[in-house]
Amino acid sequence: MTVYELGDPSARDVLIQPADDHDLEGIQKEAELIRESVKRPFRLIALRTEDWNRDLSPWEAPPVFGKEGFGGGAAATLEEVRKLCADPDRRYYIGGYSLAGLFALWAACRTDRFAGAAAASPSVWFPGFTDYLKTNRIRCGRVYLSLGDREEKTRNPVMATVADRIRETQALLTAQGADCVLEWNPGNHFRDPEIRTARAFAWILGGGEAEERPGTGKQEAENCHGE
C-alpha cells in the first residue's frame, strides 16, 4: 500500500482512511473540510489500496456487480493499519467511504485501538455483514454512519437492501451501547464522497454534529440512543 499524509504530523488525533484513486483526487478538499469543522490539529493518513475489492473485504464473497468478486483481504490490510497505530500517546480513528467504510466498522470490531469509526455510505449490503455484527461487538465508543437517500434506488437486488441494512446496523450498535449517529444525505452513492467522508471524520472528532438540513429531501440525523 502507498501512504499519503496530510495535516499536522505531530497532532495527537490521527485519522486513517483506506482509499482508491478517486478518493485521493478529493483528499485535499476532504482535509480542508475537516479542518474547518474541527479547528484543531489532526493528521490524516490515506492508504491507497492495491485491489479495492480484495484488500477491504472481511471475507470472500461472490460478485455483486460486474464479474469481480470479493477477496477477503481485510485481515492483511488491518495488520498494515495496526503498524500505523503504535504510539500510545495518540488517538487513532478509522474511516472511509463505501467499502472502506465497511472495513472501518469491521476493523473496529477486531481491535480496540480506534477511538472512533467513520463509515460514510458504507457497503453494509456486503453479504453476511450484519450477521457478523450480531456476534461481534464494536470496540470503539463513537461511530458515525451515513447513507445517500437514493442509494437503495437500484436494480441490483443486493445493493437495494442497503437502507434496510444500515438501519439494522444502527440498531445493532445501539444494543451494543455505541455512541453513534446515522445521517441521511441527498443523492446516490456517487454524490459528494469527499464531503460525506469529511463530515464523518469531523463528527467522530467532536467537531461537527450531524443535523437536519432543510431543502435536501429525505434528511434525518438519528442518534443511536434516541437523544
Per-residue model confidence as pLDDT tens digits over 13-61: 999 999 999 999 999 999 999 999 998 999 999 999 999 999 999 999 9
Distance spanning both ends of the chain, measured CA to CA: 40
Q: What is the pLDDT of residues 155-193, one digit of tens each?
A: 999 999 999 999 999 999 989 999 989 999 999 998 999
User: Residue 68, Cα to own-chain centre: how many angstroms?
Assistant: 22
DSSP state of 216: S
Q: What is the pLDDT of residues 113-161, one digit of tens each?
A: 999 999 999 999 999 999 999 999 999 999 999 999 999 999 999 999 9
Ramachandran assignment for 120, one of left (phi > 0), alpha (psi -120 to 50 degrees), beta (any other): beta
**Residue 215: which residues within 8 A CB-CB, separation 6 or more?**
none
Instruction: Kindly state the cell numbers that stand for 213.
Output: 438540513
Tell me what percent of the residues of the chain surpass a pLDDT of 70.
Answer: 91
Domain region containing 11: 2-223
Q: In DSSP terms, which residues pair with 192 in a beta bridge? A: none
Read off the CATH number of the domain in which 107 is found: 3.40.50.1820
DSSP secondary structure letters along 154-179? SS-TTGGGHHHHHHHHHHHHHHTT-E
How many structural domains are present in the chain?
A: 1
